[in-house]
Structure 1
Amino acid sequence: MKNWLLIAGGALLVLMGAVWALQGLGYVGGSFMSGAKEWFVIGLVAVIAGLALGVPALRRQLRASKRHN
């Protein structure tokens, strides 16, 4: 159960980080973050953190499911 929470949290961080990075680059408008380069950096860090959180949990989940089959 814990793996699924880590996977979901990691996926959420990746999605949020991607939106923030795109806003920072100016591809998504309508926000105070649009065109602000620091939001690109913050978004990139969030994407990396989400991957670091979710990928190992996903690997553990896949290994555990293979053992039970």
Structure 2
Amino acid sequence: MTSVRTAFARKGDPMLGRIDVPALLKAAESGFPSWVPVLQNVRHTVVFAGSVLALAATVLA
């Protein structure tokens, strides 16, 4: 949320300055299905585990 506010402020656009960022983000998040956070966690776990396996393979090679 802070990064969005900072990005909007950096633009210097008075219209962006009037946007209620928490309401905007809540509306955007509500457009996604409820299973999206679960899918994101699975993706992060797979990527992390793959990275660990790649590092282990590199060290053992």
Which category of TM-score, normalised to the shorter sequence, fits these structures? 0.3 to 0.5
Higher relative contact order (CA 8 A, sep 6+): 1
Larger C-alpha radius of gyration, 1 or 2?
2
Query: Under a length normalisation based on structure 2, what TM-score does the superposition of the two structures give?
Result: 0.42
Query: Under a length normalisation based on structure 1, what TM-score does the superposition of the two structures give?
Result: 0.38
